[in-house]
Structure 1
Amino acid sequence: MPPKAATMPEPPRKVPTRAGVPIVRAVERSIALLRVFQPGRPRQTLTELAGATSLDKNTARRLLHTLEAGGLVDHKDGLYALSHGLLELFSAVDIGGSLREVAAPVLRVIAEETSSTAFLWVHRDGMAVCIERVRPTAPRVEVTWSAVGSRTTLNSGGGPLALLGHLAPADRARALDQVMVRRTPFSLVDRSELTARAAEIARDGAVLAADDYIVGLTALGVPVVDRHGQLLGALSISTLGDHARELVASGYFATLKAHAAALGRRAL
């Protein structure tokens, strides 16, 4: 039986404030409602949404009705869900810029070479954000988590850990200030242990992450840097543990690093 992903709550996120510019409370609350929806829970009741955002039901209902009128939320059979309007907005998202564009064919090659799902990650505000993923034609295991747009703390998984190991010191410190998600019993959450792990990853230029994101799966991750040595993102693959060890034994880390280097040269 293939490993199953545990449904993990999205790490809390606050709207940052700017001096002299007040936050519009209704917009902040609407954003909070939208962020409650997760891949594992795409449809939710009014009670669930109000409870998750600490809003009373009347306020939550009015905000959801407004979001529905704007094409961002659907309401059917007593359940709310995100709507196609968000996909229209997603098409204009510039996160990753040219990196995401040039990475797509590289990820397809990696996925087919390894029979594994390939990912592209970037660092944003102390978190790892998945900006692209490619499934192989014949995967060794179905990977249904870490959809495009999902984010996670930098303490588990090949891509997130590769980012942690190659962040500038100030950015790494901010990342380690996050409340770390313990996805499995093997996920590191202690700051000193993560600091030591980051140093190892920086030294090796790669990371092998076993059982810390999903028990039974292992990830290979490498950083993507530009021509000036600046961190752009990270490439990773996720597969069954035995298959990952076979890839490492065959020297695939060198191949993955070569793909990352080529990607870094092509990104603007």
Structure 2
Amino acid sequence: MDSAGDSRTAKLPPGVPIVRALDRAIALLRAFRPEQPRLGLSELARQVGLDKGTTRRLLQTLQLNELVEHDDRSQTYALAVGLIELGSAVTTGRELRDVAGPYLTEIAEKTGATSFLWVHISGRALCVDRVRASLPHVDATWFAVGAQAPLNCGGGPRVILAYLDEAQRRQALALELPKRAPASQTDPELLWREADRIRTQGWELAADDFFIGLTGVGVPIFDRGGALAGALSISSLTSIVAPEGRPAHLDALQDAAMRIGARLLPA
């Protein structure tokens, strides 16, 4: 068993083994990404480290349960509608998403940027909602709802990092911190200082750290009890978000975050 497997097994109660067939099926589901929504049998087998026969049998079982679908013409697999049904029962971020939805639309329309809603989960930022601005000249891979982001890049994720407690922040900075662009910060000590700065400032402007030419602005959302509920952010061309090196729509973001928080009961 590799080190990753050892680490996951250590999280189980003593004497409780990982169910290998289920673990492999989940690995197949996780192989699909927004940028790779369709994959062939050979690629799936390669990604999860299984032979084609085992991979095919697992996929057929997943297909029987409407969790994956197969396209006969292209001979590729994709995630299926059964996962949407399962996802509708996920409670993480549900109250925040239900409250914040209209405000995300308002912010996207007002700023001309894509708006995002984030929550913290296990040292990463989970995108629980987004409203994409209609800007055909912006061509970038945006975080989809359900995607998780490390906390070193992006306005929203970096705001999340800033408002975590010490133990949570250490956990986040111990995870992989990818360098997505030349401006991406990956040094944990530097990121700790940056988090302190963001917390003191109350917002974050993240330029060129995810894609060159794009800038994000994030602000925290607090519930009525003052606890961090998540983060609200926008992202678009720097000329739209921060034309003079300062966030052009900070007041609108902070106002929306305050109105969202005023409707959130303490956890």
Normalized against structure 1, the TM-score is what?
0.89
Deviation at 1:223, TM superposition (A): 0.9
- Paired with 1:105 and 1:187, the residues of 2 have a C-alpha distance of 31
Pair 1:26 & 2:21 matched: yes
- Paired with 1:254 and 1:140, the residues of 2 have a C-alpha distance of 26
Deviation at 1:128, TM superposition (A): 0.8
Q: Does the 8 A contact of 1:155 with 1:194 survive in 2? A: yes
**Cα-to-partner distance string for 1:14-43 (whole Å, 9 max, x where unaligned):** 857321433211111111111110111111
- Paired with 1:129 and 1:41, the residues of 2 have a C-alpha distance of 19
Residue identity opposite 1:116 in structure 2:
A
Pair 1:115 & 2:91 matched: no
Residue identity opposite 2:143 in structure 1:
S
Pair 1:173 & 2:170 matched: yes
- Paired with 2:139 and 2:44, the residues of 1 have a C-alpha distance of 30
- Paired with 1:247 and 1:55, the residues of 2 have a C-alpha distance of 52
Say which is worse superposed, 175-184 or 131-140, in terms of deviation: 131-140
Look up the SS of the partner of 1:131 in the other structure: strand
Deviation at 1:54, TM superposition (A): 1.4
- Paired with 1:93 and 1:156, the residues of 2 have a C-alpha distance of 26
Residue 238 of structure 1: aligned partner: 235
Where do 5+ consecutive residues of structure 2 fail to align? Answer: none
- Paired with 2:240 and 2:155, the residues of 1 have a C-alpha distance of 15
Residue 216 of structure 2: aligned partner: 219
Deviation at 1:145, TM superposition (A): 1.4
Normalized against structure 2, the TM-score is what?
0.90
**Correspondence list, 1:1-268, <5 A:** 17-20=11-14, 21-76=16-71, 77-136=74-133, 141=138, 144-246=141-243, 249=246, 252-268=249-265
Residue identity opposite 2:234 in structure 1:
I
- Paired with 1:56 and 1:144, the residues of 2 have a C-alpha distance of 31
- Paired with 2:186 and 2:155, the residues of 1 have a C-alpha distance of 15
Q: Aligned-pair RMSD on alpha carbons?
A: 2.1
- Paired with 2:8 and 2:235, the residues of 1 have a C-alpha distance of 32
Q: Does the 8 A contact of 1:121 with 1:128 survive in 2? A: yes
Measured at CA, do residues 140 and 164 of structure 1 come closer, stay the same or move farther in structure 2, by a change above 3 Å? Answer: farther
Residue identity opposite 1:39 in structure 2:
P
Measured at CA, do residues 39 and 251 of structure 1 come closer, stay the same or move farther in structure 2, by a change above 3 Å? Answer: closer
- Paired with 1:45 and 1:142, the residues of 2 have a C-alpha distance of 26
Residue identity opposite 1:42 in structure 2:
P
Q: Does the 8 A contact of 2:205 with 2:216 survive in 1? A: yes
**Cα-to-partner distance string for 1:50-97 (whole Å, 9 max, x where unaligned):** 111112222211111110111011112321111111112122221202
Where do 5+ consecutive residues of structure 1 fail to align? Answer: 1-11
Say which is worse superposed, 73-82 or 165-174, in terms of deviation: 73-82
- Paired with 1:247 and 1:167, the residues of 2 have a C-alpha distance of 30
Where does structure 1 differ by over 4 angstroms across 4 or more consecutive aligned residues? 12-16, 137-140, 247-251
Say which is worse superposed, 41-50 or 247-256, in terms of deviation: 247-256
Say which is worse superposed, 45-54 or 12-21, in terms of deviation: 12-21
- Paired with 2:109 and 2:225, the residues of 1 have a C-alpha distance of 30
Look up the SS of the partner of 1:100 in the other structure: helix
Q: Does the 8 A contact of 1:115 with 1:139 survive in 2? A: no
Residue identity opposite 2:13 in structure 1:
A
Residue identity opposite 1:145 in structure 2:
W
- Paired with 1:198 and 1:250, the residues of 2 have a C-alpha distance of 18
Percent pairwise identity: 47
Instruction: Give the paired residue count.
Output: 257
Residue identity opposite 1:245 in structure 2:
A
- Paired with 2:232 and 2:189, the residues of 1 have a C-alpha distance of 25
User: Which is bigger in relative contact order (C-alpha 8 A, separation at least 6)?
Assistant: 1
Q: Does the 8 A contact of 1:115 with 1:140 survive in 2? A: no
- Paired with 2:30 and 2:172, the residues of 1 have a C-alpha distance of 20
Deviation at 1:244, TM superposition (A): 1.4
- Paired with 2:136 and 2:160, the residues of 1 have a C-alpha distance of 25
**Cα-to-partner distance string for 1:215-235 (whole Å, 9 max, x where unaligned):** 110000011111222111100
